Amino acid sequence: MPLKILASIVLAANLILANRSVCAEEFALRFESSPPSERLRPQGEPATLALTVTALDGQPVAEGWVAVRLDAPPPNWLFSTDFPVVEGSRLLEMRVPLINGKAEWRQVFPIRGDYRLAAEFAGTAGAKIDKVFSFHVYEKDPKWLVLGGFALGLFITGVIAGRVFSAPRDGAGRKLGLWLFFILTWSAAVGESAWAQEDHKRNYISKIDVAPATVGSPARIHWWLHPAGVNGKSSAKLTFSITHLEKNKLVFSLEKIPVAGEFALDYHFTDGTDHRVITVAVTEDGATVRQEETVSVTAVAPSLRTKLPPLFLFLTVIAVGLFAGRWSRRAAGSKLRSAEGRRSQA
């Protein structure tokens, strides 16, 4: 009897695993971006990201949901990004319905590096498939040119300072050397890089609730819609957007997704300034309900660990320049003394 029970358990487990495998093989999950990933740049124009779920015959699935999780690139050991606190954090987590087999949204990428996008499809018949995508966002070319120019400037200044420090030690030379020392030190330091108000329109009430937002972690945003004086929820097509007010720039948006009266997501506000969340819902009876909420984001100073590596690099560039300047000054002095010795002997 125990052997029969054990065999039955093993058989049931194999059937479950086989069923899950068949379900996964019945669908294909694909990710694409516009523009392509090799043209994506941090703090550029919003990119359109899309997850497409198709059957084996290539036809888009009729119904289902996709859970999305987007993680920022991990920290860099030498040069931090423009937003060091964002590195390695969760940027986005949401669950959106498929429209013609596709989930699509627009988003601005805050920093350069390798992003990780985890997606999980859940169909109406219990079918599931999950996949992890990785893509790289390259830094803007002008930033590397600025960095190279800054490092070259530090090196040239170090060479000049090295020659000055190697000059005869008169009062003027010492004063100039001190001034250059303070300038170099300063240059290296500089080079490190609730409830919303109710909106009654055609007997509908829309509300937005945003949790306290702090750079470094995502904040919960919850929106819902219901008829005035009624406890139930209303189905609608929702357009959801987040705008950076200081730059007057769209940083995230979803267009006309079907919702059953409410929608929620975790979104990481990566810049410590004011943002505006705007929702526009079109109900089944044609009513348009618009709601907005201003979000004040708390900034967080980067850690000392992110400041030390670039500061050490810039100081090293200055030190190499100082050594080169002293060496060139001493080499020139040795040649001059040798020439004077030969003239005296003659």
Per residue in 213-230, pLDDT (tens digit) is: 999 999 999 999 988 766
For the segment 146-169, the average pLDDT, to the nearest whole number, is 64
For the segment 97-104, the average pLDDT, to the nearest whole number, is 93
If pLDDT is split at 50, 70 and 90, which confidence band does 327 have? confident
CATH number at residue 45: 2.60.40.1940
Is 52 part of any domain?
yes
Residue 4 one-letter amino acid: K
Whether the pLDDT of residue 84 is over 50: the answer is yes
Per residue in 173-229, pLDDT (tens digit) is: 455 555 555 555 554 444 443 333 344 345 788 899 999 999 999 999 999 998 876
Residue 243 shares a structural domain with residue 254:
yes
Residue 212 shares a structural domain with residue 122:
no
Tell which residue, 314, 302, 130, 340, has the closest CA to residue 216. 302
Using left for φ > 0, alpha for ψ between -120 and 50, and beta otherwise, residue 43 falls in left
If pLDDT is split at 50, 70 and 90, which confidence band does 20 have? very low
Residue 151 shares a structural domain with residue 168:
yes
What does the block give as tokens for 4?
Answer: 């029969």
Residue 259 shares a structural domain with residue 186:
no
For the segment 245-271, the average pLDDT, to the nearest whole number, is 95
Residue 94 shares a structural domain with residue 215:
no
If pLDDT is split at 50, 70 and 90, which confidence band does 1 have? very low
Give the chain's domain count: 3
Residue 266 shares a structural domain with residue 290:
yes
Is 317 part of any domain?
yes
For the segment 302-331, the average pLDDT, to the nearest whole number, is 68
Whether the pLDDT of residue 6 is over 50: the answer is no
For the segment 257-278, the average pLDDT, to the nearest whole number, is 95
Instruction: Give me the domain span that covers residue 153.
Output: 142-191+302-338
Q: Strands of 65-71's sheet, edge to edge?
A: 128-137, 113-122, 65-71, 90-97, 262-267, 219-227, 204-210, 199-201
Is 346 part of any domain?
no
Specify the range with the lowest mean pLDDT, choosing from 79-83, 233-237, 325-329.
Answer: 325-329
DSSP per residue, 241-308: EEEETTTTEEEEEEEEEEESSEEEEEE---SSSEEEEEEEEEETTS-EEEEEEEEEPBP-PPPHHHHH
Report the alpha-carbon distance of residue 118 to residue 132 in Å, rounded: 4
For the segment 65-72, the average pLDDT, to the nearest whole number, is 96
Higher pLDDT, 275 or 200: 275
pLDDT of residue 55: 86
Whether the pLDDT of residue 104 is over 90: the answer is yes
Whether the pLDDT of residue 281 is over 90: the answer is yes
